Every structure is written in C-alpha cells, then in structure tokens.
Structure 1
Amino acid sequence: MQSEPQYKPVEQAHFSLTTAENACKFGPIHPERDRFSWADCDAIFAAAEGANQAVRGHNLCWHTENPQWLLHGNFNASELRQILRQHIHAVVTRYGTRALAWDVVNEAVDQNGLKPSAPWYPKVKDYIDVAFTAAREAGGPSVKLFYNDYSAEGMNHKSGQVYKLVSGMRSRGVPIDGVGLQFHWSLDSHDPLSEVAANMKRMADLDLEVHITELDIKCVPQGSSEKCTPARLNAQAELYAQIVSTCLAAPNCKSVETWGFTDKHTWIGSSTEPLPFDANYKPKPAVDAMINVLLQKLNTSSA
C-alpha cells in the first residue's frame, strides 16, 4: 500500500501521527536471537520524520507477532527475562524519544485478569513489570510508556482489569505513563461515551495519560449484507466526532489515532467501511465531522 500513489500524500496531508502496524514488532525486528533487522522500522521513522509526523512505537511485548526461535526455544523463566530485557533495551535505545510513546505491553488481560501470553505468561509472572522497567532503563525519564488494549474503553469487566493492572503497577513503583484505548468499535455495538469519560477520569486519578490508539468504526457488521447507506455514513461521522470530543474534554487524553485511514486497507475488511476515507481515498463525512470538532476546540481555546 505504501507504493500506491495516493497513499502517502493523503496520509501526510491529514495526519500528524503514524504507527507501523507490524514493522517494529518483535518478530519482524528480531528474527534471530542474536540478530536484529532494523531496515523496515528505520524506514517508518525516517519517512514520518521527513513529513513532520510523530511515530508511535508499537509494540515491544505481545503474545503474537513473535519469532519462531522465541516461541520454540524452550527457554526457562530466567532466559525469557533476559531475552525480553535485551530486546526492549535494543529497540528503545535505538529509537527512544523519536517515538511519541511506546506501547510497551499489548493486550495482556481479559475480563478475568492476566491471560496466557506465550511465551511470556505464566512462565514469567512479572513480565509486564520487567518490560516497563527495561523500557525506562533504556529510554530514560522522557520516553512515554504505555499499556495498550482493546474492549476496555468503557466501564466494564475488562477495563476494570486494565485499571487493576495499571493501578497495581503504580503502587509498586513500576514506570508507566499512560494507557492506550484501542476503540475498535461498530455503529451497532459500542460503549456509552459517558462511561468512556468516566474511565478516562479514573486513569487521570492515577496520573496516567490516555491515548486513543487504534480507532475504527464499522459502518456495517462484518459479513453482513447490509450497505453503508448515507444515513449510516452520517451516523459513523457523528460517532467519530463524539469520540474526538470525549478525548478533548478529558485533560489527560492527549492523542487520537485511527487504525489506518482508507477503507481500501483495513485489518477488519473493506466491506465494513470503518475508516474516515473510502477505498478510493476520498474523504467520508467522518473527516469533516472530526475537523469541525477540532476547529471548535481551537476557536474556544483562542477566544
């Protein structure tokens, strides 16, 4: 998609922040135990910086996108701690504060608490603390360290487990600066925005930032024969605008990022039409809706 002539001009004209979906993850960047492959992640940073865009570092530790040597190495807990620390030290030392923030650990809980996350958990019970501590050691006090997860936007069992995780980290003195809320939503199923605001507030009470990290809103359900009608496009636009407004109203919500921007390239399938630009790179109503919210905030702040 990077080679498509429309892709970069639209992205760079409309977005000030970019994330590599896969290029900077453990598997692609660390294909062998004693070898790192930096080229693709380097290119992401270089292209973004050349366009005056910030980069989100995504991600340092996850239960998927791991290399085969790590998954099948039969490492013990001590060896896994060493591998995790080495990996994080290498990546964060290389890029550091060139990233707006780092998703240090990704998607580690479900509604019952910490979930099995091969190869890390349950073999390394404190792997989250190990990961965040290593990131702070490598990057120093200025790097922003985040925990990132999905289906934890409102006040529900899973967001309660995320809150339990990060509040526990705070009480133990583990370095963490914020929580990434992914916001993979649908017009037909999403949390009340009042609950989102309440969730952001309780993170603020822990002195944690919130970033909206992977926003998309399915206009029609996956696998449905429904069409994304003009009425549904307008409803999608309104929900995008309401999410941005909710972030702007929360002093600790510092960033909103969509997970892709064109319906031509989306992890959930183009037929759901979840992103602000259509498959032909034309802006949908969501674009103007979000711009209007931002302009209103700007005008209010400067008045």
Structure 2
Amino acid sequence: MTTATRLAAPAAPAPAGRRAARRRRRALPYLLLAPALILFGFFKAYPIVSSLLLSLTTGSGAATRDAGLANYRRLLDDPLFWTALRNTAQILVLQVPLMLGLALLLAVGINSALVRWRAVWRLGVFMPAVTGLVATGVLFAFLLRTDHGAVNWLLDLVGLPAVDWLGSPFWSRIAIVLVLTWHYTGYNAVIYLAGLQGIPRELYEAAMVDGAGPLRRFRSITVPALRPVLLFTVVLSTIGTLQLFDEPYVLTHGGPDNATLTVSMYLYQNGFRYFDFGYASAIAYVLTLLVSVLGAVQMRLMGERE
C-alpha cells in the first residue's frame, strides 16, 4: 500500500501593484509627520543642541575656542549671577502667592450668585493680561515716578510720604511685584473661574445642609476641587517669574545697584552687550535646570496623591 503525499503549493506572490500600495500606506504617516518633524528639528532641536555646544566654548566669532565646563565653573564664582538669582527668588516668593491669592479671591467673587454681568467682570479682570509687556512697563514707569507720578500723588492726598519706587533697592522690587500682579492676576482669575464653574453645586448645597459656613465650604470643597488648577497656575507662574525680563528691563534696567537684576536680564547682558555667548548659554542651561527642578518639586508636592 502506498501513501501519496501531496505537497502544498507555494502561495502565489502578491501582484506588484498591491505591494506598492502597501508600501505607500506604510509611508503615509511618516510623510504626514515629516513637515512637523523638519520644522521641529530646524527651529527647536537644532538651537537647543547648538546652544549646548556653545555653552562649552568661550570667545566670539573667529576667536571662539573650546572651554569645556569652564563657563559652568565660572558661574559658581560669579557674584553678579548669585545676585541676579537672589533677586529673582525674592520676587518669586513674594509675587506668586500674592498674585494667585488675589486671583482666587477675584474668581470666587465673580462666581458668586450675587454678581451680575459676570461676563463683563470677567472681561474687565482679563484685560491687563492682553496688554503688551513693554507697554505695561512704560505705563507704570510714568505712574511710579517719584516727582510727578500718579501713585505718589495719591499717597500725598491721604497724607503719606512719597515713595522712591524706582530709585530705592527695596521699593524697586516692590514695584516689579506690583506690575506683575496687575498684569497676570486677571489671567489666573479667569482660569480659576473656569475651575469653579466645574464644581457641582450639589456639593455646596449638601455642605450648607450640614451646617458648614462659607470658610468651611471654601476649605473643604473649593480648594480640593481646584487642586489641579492650582497646580497648573503655580507651576506656570513660577516658570514665568524665573524667566522675568521685560518688566525690570523697561522699568529699572536692573537697577538701582542691581537690585532688580534677574537671571534672564543677566543672560541678556552677557549675550548681547558683552557678546559672551558661551557664558550666556551656560546661564540659560542653568536656568532651564532650575525651572525643571522647581517644576518637578511642585508637581511632587501638589500633585494628586493615591
């Protein structure tokens, strides 16, 4: 008895047109991503890598030479850099809590059922945020003048002495804080208002039935519900303040006696006044590292806990 073994015939190869269509389908996502990737590489990745390499050099133009980590070691012994960092930290610690606290109070007030024309109020508090930073600095430079400024005129009306807002190291920092608070409080208030409108009213009604007062409802319902929004505004405001440049540059040019010199201003001076681009790039990378570390710490401390 013999057994016939039938071998399966090999599959017929796919037509050339079908293989070409399959290759086109596979390549289509990469073709669609290519413009964005090219733009990202040219305008983002290349400057980042180039500035990193530049931070390892010294000199400018034809005199540029490798310096290794010399620029970063120079930062450790640069008293002006530490002055700029200290000024930035002082403004940050004072301005961010003040601004966000006022923004939260404004948002709670606008969200109140007793407030009419809510859209008008929302537009009014948001208007400073759309004002140009340079225009804001020029405006407050006139308002805060020691001799003929409107702010000192108002102080004189109520019997208070005039303040040297832009000539005193202490008051010049306060002036920067006031300008930043005026410019960004409404922006954050609108963000908080959007978060407040997403909180179910039933939670407040249940708390009122249980006898909770306004402060208890605010502490036990409003603040926990706004936690993601609070985290967003704190991180964003911290990053923005660490990069502070426009307001002190227009108002005080970093003075008096470097009292309002910020890290970004010091970076600008080294890069575009002294043309020490290697050192300026090193400052930029240290600032980037500082922003990343503070952002990570804030995310860790204020983020959602399991």
Q: Which TM bucket (shorter chain)?
A: under 0.3
Q: Which has the larger radius of gyration?
A: 2
User: Which one has more relative contact order, counting CA pairs under 8 Å at least 6 apart?
Assistant: 2
Higher strand share: 1
Using the size of structure 2 for normalisation, the TM-score is 0.22
Using the size of structure 1 for normalisation, the TM-score is 0.22
